[in-house]
Amino acid sequence: MTLTVDLARYLAERREAVDQALDRALPSADRYPKTIHESMRYSVFAGGKRLRPILVIAGAEAAGGSMAEVMPTACAMELVHTYSLIHDDLPAMDDDDFRRGRPTNHKVFGEAVAILAGDALLTLAFRLIAENCAANGRDPSLLRDVLIEIADAAGTEGMIGGQVVDLESEGQKVLPETLEYIHTHKTQALIRASLRAGALLMNAPSRVLAPLTRAAECLGLAFQIVDDILDVEGSLEQLGKSAGSDQRKQKATYPEIFGLEVSKLRARELAEEAKAALAMIGPRVEPLVLLADFIVERKS
Amino acid sequence: MTLTVDLARYLAERREAVDQALDRALPSADRYPKTIHESMRYSVFAGGKRLRPILVIAGAEAAGGSMAEVMPTACAMELVHTYSLIHDDLPAMDDDDFRRGRPTNHKVFGEAVAILAGDALLTLAFRLIAENCAANGRDPSLLRDVLIEIADAAGTEGMIGGQVVDLESEGQKVLPETLEYIHTHKTQALIRASLRAGALLMNAPSRVLAPLTRAAECLGLAFQIVDDILDVEGSLEQLGKSAGSDQRKQKATYPEIFGLEVSKLRARELAEEAKAALAMIGPRVEPLVLLADFIVERKS
């Protein structure tokens, strides 16, 4: 198929719309008690790529829906992602002082507020998903399916499970299947749920949902492999954190186990597999096809 | 009205049913990754009174519903409560080593797992609420209302807001209105949402919902005032934590600001006000009438 979408513009438009919606969804920074709202906003507006919200939107578009119909859930996925970063950065966890070139939440607001800000973002995320159902006027039972989808992706069968195994694997010799578990749970699960949630909210038929799910799994894994590669190759300027931080923390990574060349090849293969799955859906998924290459070729 | 319910039996039956439902709802302790599931179960099965689940059930009963119809949401409220205790006990927060006579979660599983166990319980709570709607076969739009009710009660407009102000008030001279804010948000909000959620799920009319809400507000505040009183008067054996711990941590409490006698009087007044509100509903709320006295007279 001939691609007609300008990806940079597609991403910029959606990122801007998501940022505006997040600004409306979050309590204002001067609302009592101020500290917690400042802390939540500090991390949400720290310059993220908004990949997960954009995937929710792209999932809705793939099923014939529009950005406006899934915006609350798109914002919710960014809040779930942000809460996980705040908690991951805590001294008891990865103990990171910087994130995206800025001091981490607990370095600015203290550990107690950082823990509570994460809790509050997770709580607000579920509120936004509940609101989505009211807003788009579709069958409210879809809300139940989407909630369960996202809760499972974020819980101990998903992201939290991945984080636990990641923590327990630090400094250990990690088997390839353990690394696979960490990557598919810690990163892929939420990316998969994002794309699926958008499509589910639009009541996508399985001829759309099945290939979309396969594409999401490939993109989610590719995204994490590229993250691992960038940690070895990237510079502080590009990443906003020191390159090589995974190695210093003795984190299990793809390049560590399979080498850089095999890792790059695998990421490329996954992008092609995602594109093959997407080709079964049709022209509505053009942005996702371009996004597959973008995820593999990105430098930060 | 003549009271015919045996409260001890009423509570014991519901507590047992809630415990069984919680056991089914939580991933088993040997499920991979084991640590997180052990940690979640450790705190959920630490001998709580199950007050919040029982209030969800009583709220449903007040609206003509049954325990089975709201059990997932009843369990969800206990998980929200338990997550908040695990996070509150962390060194960065209240730094408590014991809770209900046992070492706190982070003393057993470490801080990282304790943070993640709290996150996972909150996540699972929202999944259970979503499941409830499917289970009771009522209008799925009720699910949206209940979700928003509970998310607001648990978030920065509710419990988390109360915890932030509580932390920021430690060691400060606290005004009566600040103490009121802490108590109504940190404790009352979740108790209010519990009773309301049960009634909302049964589509309670406002002639039931309004007095039930008023009763819940009185009971929630009374519960916290009695907690403050017990912290001054109780023994380690009864409370499972050292009496006087609020004072050691320079926590703002009701007896600290108003004295013990005024505090006891206020708790009693609130119980009577709750009972007056409940009298407007009818015989279905008998257990709640008895519970009002129980909350004020309890010794632990």
Q: For residue range A52-72, what is the model confidence (pLDDT) as tens digits?
A: 999 999 999 999 999 999 999
Judged by average pLDDT, the poorest of A37-46, A242-251, B215-224 is A242-251
In B, minimum Cα distance to A91 occurs at B112
Structural domains for chain A? 7-290 (1.10.600.10)
Mean pLDDT of B246-252: 78
User: pLDDT tier at B299 (50, 70, 90 boundaries)?
Assistant: confident
Give percent of chain A above pLDDT 90: 82
**Contacts A129 to B, Cβ<8 Å:** 147
Mean pLDDT across chain B: 93
A71 CA: distance to closest CA in chain B (Å) = 16
The tokens 């999401």 sit on which residue? A216
Most confident of the following: A55-64, A136-145, B163-172: A55-64
pTM: 0.96
Please tell me the predicted confidence (pLDDT) of residue A138. Answer: 67
Residue type present at position A36: I
Comparing A231 with A249, which gets the higher pLDDT? A231
Residue type present at position B110: G
Hey, are the CB atoms on B120 and A155 less than 8 Å from each other?
yes
A21 CA: distance to closest CA in chain B (Å) = 18
Mean pLDDT of A212-221: 98
Please tell me the predicted confidence (pLDDT) of residue A235. Answer: 56
**Contacts A126 to B, Cβ<8 Å:** 126, 147, 151
Comparing A250 with B159, which gets the higher pLDDT? B159
H helices of chain B, in order, are: 7-25, 34-44, 51-62, 67-89, 105-109, 111-136, 141-154, 159-169, 176-183, 189-201, 206-233, 236-239, 245-248, 254-258, 260-279, 286-297
CA A159 – CA A207 distance, rounded (Å): 27
**Contacts A155 to B, Cβ<8 Å:** 120, 123-124, 127
Size of interface A-B (CB pairs under 8 A): 153
**Contacts A123 to B, Cβ<8 Å:** 122, 151, 154-155, 160
Is B168 a residue whose pLDDT tops 80? yes
Six-digit token string for B200? 């909302």
**Contacts A76 to B, Cβ<8 Å:** none
* Closest Cβ opposite residue B113 in set A118, A143, A164: A164
* Closest Cβ opposite residue B126 in set A27, A147, A156: A147
**Contacts B154 to A, Cβ<8 Å:** 123
Q: What is the pLDDT of residues B82-133, one digit of tens each?
A: 999 999 999 999 999 999 899 999 999 999 999 999 999 999 999 999 988 7
A283 CA: distance to closest CA in chain B (Å) = 34
What string of DSSP letters covers chain A?
A: ------HHHHHHHHHHHHHHHHHHHSPPTTSSSHHHHHHHHHHHTS----HHHHHHHHHHHHTT--HHHHHHHHHHHHHHHHHHHHHHHSTTTT--SEETTEE-HHHHH-HHHHHHHHHHHHHHHHHHHHHHHHHH-S-THHHHHHHHHHHHHHSTTTHHHHHHHHHHHTTSPPPHHHHHHHHIIIIIHHHHHHHHHHHHHTT--HHHHHHHHHHHHHHHHHHHHHHHHHHHH--HHHHSS-TTHHHHTT---HHHHH-HHHHHHHHHHHHHHHHHHHHTT-GGGHHHHHHHHHHHH---
Q: What is the pLDDT of residues B149-164, one digit of tens each?
A: 999 999 999 999 999 9
CA B127 – CA A286 distance, rounded (Å): 33
Is A240 a residue whose pLDDT tops 90? no
Closest-CA residue to A95 (of A167, A172, A185): A167
Please tell me the predicted confidence (pLDDT) of residue B246. Answer: 78
User: pLDDT tier at B4 (50, 70, 90 boundaries)?
Assistant: confident
Please tell me the predicted confidence (pLDDT) of residue A247. Answer: 76
B10 CA: distance to closest CA in chain A (Å) = 32
User: pLDDT tier at B136 (50, 70, 90 boundaries)?
Assistant: low
Please tell me the predicted confidence (pLDDT) of residue B81. Answer: 98
**Contacts B152 to A, Cβ<8 Å:** 127
Comparing B144 with A163, which gets the higher pLDDT? A163
Hey, are the CB atoms on B126 and A131 less than 8 Å from each other?
no
**Contacts B115 to A, Cβ<8 Å:** 87, 90, 92-93, 115
B123 CA: distance to closest CA in chain A (Å) = 6
CB atoms inside a 10 Å sphere around CB A223: 20
Is B251 a residue whose pLDDT tops 90? no
Please tell me the predicted confidence (pLDDT) of residue A148. Answer: 95
Q: What is the pLDDT of residues A166-214, one digit of tens each?
A: 999 988 889 999 999 999 999 999 999 999 999 999 999 999 999 999 9
Comparing A272 with B239, which gets the higher pLDDT? A272
Please tell me the predicted confidence (pLDDT) of residue A3. Answer: 64
Please tell me the predicted confidence (pLDDT) of residue B70. Answer: 96
* Closest Cβ opposite residue B143 in set A37, A144, A167: A144
Hey, are the CB atoms on A151 and B127 less than 8 Å from each other?
yes
The tokens 């989505």 sit on which residue? A132
ipTM above 0.90, yes or no: yes
Is B248 a residue whose pLDDT tops 80? no
A111 CA: distance to closest CA in chain B (Å) = 6
In B, minimum Cα distance to A166 occurs at B33
Annotate A119-136 with b (16+ C-beta within 10 A) or e (fewer).
bbbbbbbbbbbbbbbeeb
User: pLDDT tier at B223 (50, 70, 90 boundaries)?
Assistant: very high
**How many CA atoms are closer than 13 Å to the CA of B203, on its beta-carbon side?**
8
Q: Can you name the residues that pair with B103 across neighbouring β-strands?
A: B98
Angle separating helix axes A189-201 and A141-154, nearest 10 degrees: 170
User: pLDDT tier at A150 (50, 70, 90 boundaries)?
Assistant: very high
